[in-house]
Amino acid sequence: MWNYMLFSILVLFLSFLYHCYFNKPVSMIEHPDADYDYIIVGAGTSGCVLASRLSEASNVTVLLIEAGGYFGWVSSVPLLSPMTQGTEFDWTYLMEPQKFSSKGFWNYVQKMPRGKGLGGTGQMNHLVHSFGRPDDYNGWPEGWSHADLLPYFEKVSDIMNVMSSPEEEFLVDAFLSAEDALNASHVTLQKGLYTVKKGSRWSTYNAYLQNAWNRNNLHILTNTLVSKIFFKDGTKATVDGVKVIYKGGSIGRIGARKEVILCAGVINTPQLLMLSGIGPAEDLNKFQIPVVNNLPAVGKNFFDQIMLPIYVKLEARVSMTLIKLQTLPEVMNYFVFGRVLTIVPRCEGWYATNGVMGTGRTNNSGVMLFGMGSTEEKMLRSMSNYMTEPYRSLYPSYKNNSQEGFLYLSYCLQPKSRGSVTLKSRNIRHQPKIDPAYFENYDDILCTHEAINFAIQTLETKMFREFGAKAHLPDLEECRHLPQDYRNIEYSECVMRVGGMTSYHACGSCRMGDDEHAVVDEELRVRGVSGLRIMDASVLPSPISGNPNSVFIAMAEKTSDLILGRSSK
């Protein structure tokens, strides 16, 4: 079995080397020009879209700067996306010790993986597609309503090759049939939607950047860190360019004739703003950073959806397990027939999926059905920072690679808790202080409790009963004094505060708005500064009721139209 896998891996590796070194795109450069019309900082989900769309205008020059390089081939395999966490392709951020959550994690600290390389976090996420609900956009500024974004949603759905869970999956059938059984007007269950093409990850790196990187007016500078934004002498509020640190450690300055556009992400963007003198004056003064523009809202409004994993045991053989994934047919289907020979259409198997078979919601509470029945303890504990005993209590299949079961990831779609990103140092290489303040607002506990009970209700429907589905109750030391029943709010809350983990949906640290407390205006221009714009997860005013990555793509499409003065197409 492993000989076939090694052979296919070798073929993929050689293909990767060819594309990177022998078929180098025209846009890839090592020495930038002195200045450009537009400088885009960060080649993540939004940065790839903007680089592609802005360079469509042949009369402008665009520079895309990325701190990392090419992702490895592992990132292209949808089911293996977690394996890039903690590697050179990850910024490996650590959150601050939490007061109201994360008691089952070492030092109450959770990890916040963020992609470092071309494609950014879009190269290491779980590819789940969602635009949320129309109501999610009601409080957003003029021009950003659901109706305003709808043309862009339609464009993105086409470009990003949105697919749904396989038709023949038993767990999908059981999940969908539960909607009729629950018979509630406020309940919605659907197949998992994700972005994959020909069995491989399909991110904006693939769909946008690769289509543009042979244009002469687009330059892409990799392994280069932007450490500061410069402003013109005598006019502090007008952007002049950026300071960069190249791979070898040398420092340079690149000018921007029109705009610098920050697409560095929910953590890096506020950090770069503050290090450049844009942020809360009180905080900047602590690090002797000259204040260019006192914007107290920079780094505030940080939010993330925290999920509680509920393990569901099964008697029927209908889930993914590690043993099944390691079988010769499954390996051959994907790595040989699906990726190398491509002679059998739609024969990629589970490796070509993200494992998310269904998503559902009731009111503001949501669930995701992850169809994996067993886990690799060492890898998952390392990725998440769980302590051993809480991990084993939450994931009872840790020592049984053939255990049938799945995970319900239960969470609040619209959390009210708000955290922050603040400086720890004036050194760009030192990570900032990241505090999501999980469960600080008790309403998030109530909302997540409803999600948990929603998940359990689906297990009481006909098909799940036939599969022998039963929710596992973790035997956590902190919760043993309580009735072991998820319907008991105190037990449910206790398990949440011990075992709830990040959904990786962090947003909001440079909020868009039309008020004085916003960081960017309705055209995503930084308030009080000329020639500086932001387009990434940090600008979201409020959460998306689902995974937000596809929303960023649509917003980046709209932003490119705003910059170039185009109407939506």
> Tokens 């390089």 sit at which residue?
69
Residue 308's identity, in one-letter code, is L
In Å, the largest CA–CA distance within the chain is 74
Number of other residues whose CB lies within 10 A of the CB of residue 522: 15
CA distance 69 to 324: 34
> What radius of gyration, in Å, describes the C-alpha atoms of the chain?
23
In the block, residue with structure tokens 């000989």:
3
Q: What is the DSSP letter of 487?
A: T
Q: How far apart are CA 458 and CA 436, in angstroms?
A: 30
Query: Pairing between strand 251-262 and 239-245?
Result: antiparallel
User: Between vectors from CA 84 to CA 101 and to CA 452, what angle results, nearest 5°?
Assistant: 35
| Residue 505 is among the residues annotated as catalytic for this protein | yes
Instruction: Give the tokens for residue 248.
Output: 């070898």
Q: Which amino acid is at 377?
A: E
Residue 260 sits at the vertex; the CA angle it makes with 255 and 262, to the nearest 5 degrees, is 135
Comparing CA positions, the residue from 352, 290, 308, 293 lying closest to residue 474 is 308
The single residue of 219, 481, 505, 517 carrying the catalytic annotation is: 505
- The helix (run of H) or strand (run of E) holding residue 377 is helix 377-384
Please identify which residue in the block is written with the tokens 């708000």.
Answer: 418
Beta carbons of 145 and 137 less than 8 angstroms apart: yes
Burial (CB < 10 A; 0-12, 13-18, 19+), residue 210, is middle
| CA–CA separation, 487 and 479 (whole Å) | 14
Residue 546 gets the label, from left (phi > 0), alpha (psi -120 to 50) or beta, of left
**Helical pair 45-54 and 549-564, crossing angle rounded to 10 deg:** 30
Torsion of CA 191, 196, 197, 203, to 10 degrees: 140
> Residue 533's CB: how many other CB atoms inside 10 A?
24
Q: How far apart are CA 310 and CA 370, in angstroms?
A: 10
Can you give the three-state secondary structure of 168-194, one letter per residue?
CCHHHHHHHHHHHHHCCCCEEEEECEE
User: How far is Cα 215 from Cα 29, in angstroms, rounded to an integer?
Assistant: 12
| Strand segments (E) across 290-364 | 293-294, 306-313, 356-362
- Of 482, 506, 452, 471, the closest CA to residue 110 belongs to 506
Active site residues per annotation: 505
